[in-house]
Structure 1
Amino acid sequence: MPEERTIPRHIAVIMDGNGRWAKERGLPRREGHRAGAESVRECVEACKQLGVEYLTLYAFSSENWNRPPHEISSLMSLLERFLDQKAEEMMKQNVRLSAIGHIERLPEKTRAKLRDALERTADNTSLNLILALSYGSREEITEATRSLVKDAAEGRLAPGDVTPELIASRLYTADVPDPDLLIRTSGEMRVSNFLLWQISYAEIVIFKKFWPDFSQADLFDAVDEYSRRNRRFGGL
């Protein structure tokens, strides 16, 4: 461990490997997703202890809609149970919940439970827990570009007005600092259409273990690794 931890302000996590974790144990995929929910709790607890301000979890990608209907239904039920069970806990821990992505694509029952959790935790001031749901970064960037083109077509924007800051202001994460640290489990070496703009200079830490096996100790290890990095942001 570094002598002094440098705490990232924002950690983003690609929670990968629930299905393979279950397969290795001869269990249905839904059991892997259920076990993964416990790792979410571990991750939140660790971030709270460290003083991390933002935690973004890749919970359901836009590509996940291509999975079998029964698995999608199981994932939505799991999300609903998570929101039911954790909303009160988030209130006690002063955690503020938010969500990014095409939330309107979620089933109405799921959206209703999400809205309730968002409203209940809106005034909390500790960790900001962001769920990326029905989220795809290319879609996000496309929508941001479309809004800029519309403004230009209506005479409110000139080509010279377009800056990285302006583009960032049209993303779902407009009011959120870019991630300092990106964690991915299951050993896969890709970012899977997750926060492509925002992670431009994030430090990346890969764990070979599947998400259901991820613990508080692993998150502490990732932050220790982050502390050892020299972030140059393209400089010397």
Structure 2
Amino acid sequence: MAQQTQGDTLSHFYELRTRCIRIVIGLLLALGVTLPFANELHEFFVRPLLSQLPAGGQMIATSVTSPFLIPLKIALYVAIALSLPNTLYQLWKFVQPGLYPKERLISLIGVLSSIVLFILGASFAFYIVIPVIFKFIIGSAPAGVAVMTEIGNYLDFLVSITLAFGISFQTPIIVVAIAYMGVVEVNTLKEIRSYVIVGAFVIGAIFTPPDIISQFMLAIPLWILYELGVLVASVLIHKRDREVAPV
């Protein structure tokens, strides 16, 4: 019995090692695609800021290595994003043997939905929120002040905002998961709606610049996504209860 347990442990370890190796290989392949286009990717991601700067406005580099390292960091971040589906798939394949057939389908749908929602959140931040933020910030600069953002600071700001929105857009997945597993009742989720709305605006105030527009642009989607999660959870739980109810 002990030998069988040890054999199962080693089997899981080798399986985990295999999945980790495939995750790393997927990242390296994605990096091989993005590195040759590092400068083009840099130009693409700084466009939201440059488009809001006045004529002749430009970005600056305060570090000697920034002009070389920042495009490489952008290429790495894009490679991580491109390899994310493979990463999640490998993790799902690792836990798949321990799931029942119905749980496998639900978890696969959850992984795919998570990827789609993260992309939607990051895209919403990049194409809509960030240009609005920069327009507000640059427009608020006093007369005689030249806005010249350091490229390293800009990259950190860009990553933090896109991650905040990408993660925030996972709200429906979290709501459905905790309701379906019975951690929180759907009725309870409906009753705490007012607290969720307040929490959404608090999160918006924490993860966005101190302007009311960007705070609303994070808080309102969070609220809508929460309501969507409650709706989907209600439908799924109602369907499950009907299936297990005695005839």
TM-score (normalizing by structure 1): 0.25
Question: Which is richer in strand?
Answer: 1
TM-score (normalizing by structure 2): 0.24
Find the structure with the greater CA-based Rg.
2
Structure having greater relative contact order (Cα 8 Å, sep ≥ 6): 1
